[in-house]
Structure 1
Amino acid sequence: MSVLEVLPLVVVMVAGPQILSAIFLATSDGWRRNSAAFVGGAALSITLVVTVVYELGDGAVGGGGSHTTLSAIVLVALLLAMVHTYRTRATSEPPRWMGSLQRATPRFSFRLGFLLMGFFPTDILTSAAVGSYLAARDARLVDAAPFVLLTLLVLALPSLTLAVAGDRAERALPRIRDWMNENSWLVSELVILFFIGMTLNNLLG
């Protein structure tokens, strides 16, 4: 898989609470260990999901008609989710557990990275899609490397920026974190809109 092929999938993987968690951890006490543990947990779970689906083969990949029906159902669900997110934007709040990230430990960060990136609904579906895509085309499992590595790089960007830019990043990251925290509904809308684009592409393509 090329970088251009996996870039949309990476956006889906990190958009929402995933990148927000990475920013929170980069502004926490002990951010170096917390960020490294978060990325490590993410690496393990993403690789695990891709590998399991790949090894199971392409048995879950059905015919064109079933794919069309599934895509249509997904599109309707996404449109309803988009309307619901907009209508509840005034009361929208990020998950409660995000409030504890400022006091996170490396153990908690690792577990968060593992669970969030491996079992969050959009992430497990995306990782499974990569494994299924490779299996259906008789590609090598190692061809998933660009997807996994680019996803981990994006998750590591907040801490890498802090390590390189120092004080400037230390001032900027909390502002970015607070904006994303206050506008979580908008982030959700962008993720849903991205999925709608991908689903329409599947239907029309």
Structure 2
Amino acid sequence: MNWLSVLLLSVVMIAGPQIITAIFLASSQEARRSSLAYLCGAGLAGLIGLTVWHFAFHVVRGTGGGQGKPDGTRHLIDWVVLAALLALMVIVFVRRKRSRPPKWMNTLQAASPRFAFGLGFLLVIAMPSDEATMVAVTGSLAGHDKPWWHLLPFLALTLLLLALPLIILLVLGQRAVTVLPKARDWANEHSWLVSEAVILIFVTIVVSDLLK
């Protein structure tokens, strides 16, 4: 399993309302505090979700009794990962026509850090696309007997990508007022294409593993 391909799925994790919300918060009244709280909420949700799925897959993997040899359990996990990826492709494709952010995002201009934390947590732990991505990532690593800490670079990269609007704000200052809306519009229009390309790459890798 190519570790780089697993890291690429962090793009899929943040594509959609996750990164759009981060952009809105970076333009809010308490931009810095709310953005940091949002990242903490998303990080906690990601850590919980990845950990739960990791140990669930390792329990399944442990029932195979392969003693280091390829077994049916590993292939079962690969099939689960493949199913999650295909479901994720469908979810991303169906949402591609959402060219405008939901109306509730307009309220983020006055979002408190506490609200931003809860929103970050919910957008990661309760979104079908993120759940499917976490299943794919943890299943792939657990199926190849990778330890839990191998999930941390994936989570770190996901949070780094979510932090880009805040980083832009800190670097550009007032100029970010014109840059962030353009980034938001680009994400609305094109992020689904990037996500589909990344998922397709990962699907190819999983299929190649199944054929071995």
- TM-score range, shorter-chain basis? 0.7 to 0.9
For residues 115 and 135 of structure 1, the distance between their equivalents in structure 2, rounded to whole angstroms, comes to 25
**Unmatched runs of 5 consecutive residues or more in structure 2:** 62-72
Structure 1 unmatched ranges of 5 or more: none
Q: How many residues align?
A: 198
Partner of 1:11: 11
Quote the Cα distance in structure 2 between the aligned partners of 1:202 and 1:138: 15
Once the two structures are superposed, the pairs formed by residues 104-183 of structure 1 within 5 Å of their partners are 104-181=111-188, 183=189
Deviation at 1:144, TM superposition (A): 1.6
Q: Distance in 2 between matches of 1:142 and 1:22?
A: 26
Could you tell me how far apart the structure 1 residues matched to 2:31 and 2:100 are? Answer: 24
1:3 and 1:147 in contact (8 A); partners too: no
C-alpha distance in 2 between matches for 1:49 and 1:80: 19
Find runs of 4+ consecutive structure 1 residues off by over 6 angstroms: none
| Identity rate, percent | 38
CA distance, structure 1, for counterparts of residue 139 and residue 150 of structure 2: 12
Structure-2-length-normalised TM-score = 0.75
The match for 1:188 is 192
CA contact 1:2–1:146 (8 Å) conserved in 2: no
- Contact kept, 8 Å, 1:38 with 1:106, in 2: the verdict is yes
Select which of 200, 203, 207 maps to 1:199: 203
| TM-score using structure 1 length | 0.78
User: Which of 161-170 and 195-204 deviates more?
Assistant: 195-204
Structure 1 residue aligned with 2:23: 23
What's the CA shift string for 1:151-188, capped at 9, x where partnerless?
A: 1111111112211221222331133224545x3xx433
Q: 1:119 to 1:69 in 2, by over 3 A?
A: closer
